[in-house]
Amino acid sequence: MLTPIAWVRVAQTALKGNFVGKFVGDIWMMPGIFLIKNENIIWQHDFQHAGDHPDFAKIPQQIK
């Protein structure tokens, strides 16, 4: 949350007019995305900071 790239993303978001609202819950908990097949995790993305997003277009290639 406090890395230089995270601050760059905060600045980019603010320049677009988006700001942080009221904090709810554990603000330090990061999300994750999982692709599950037959009860097995076959792909996952662990977010590194709030501005980290997987390249959704590449997911089909990564799971082959």
13 burial level (CB within 10 Å; 0-12, 13-18, 19+) = middle
Report the C-alpha gap between 47 and 5 in whole angstroms. 13
pLDDT at position 39 is 92
pLDDT at position 15 is 92
For the entire predicted model, the pTM comes to 0.52
Number of domain units in the chain: 1
Among 3-7, 13-17, 20-24, the minimum mean pLDDT is found in 20-24
Report the C-alpha gap between 24 and 61 in whole angstroms. 36
Enclosing domain of residue 22:
4-62
Report the C-alpha gap between 16 and 51 in whole angstroms. 14
Residue 26 has pLDDT above 80, yes or no: yes
**How does residue 1 score in pLDDT terms, banded at 50, 70 and 90?**
low
Q: Name every residue whose Cβ is closer than 8 Å to that of residue 54 and which is 6 or more positions away in sequence.
A: 33, 45
pLDDT at position 7 is 85
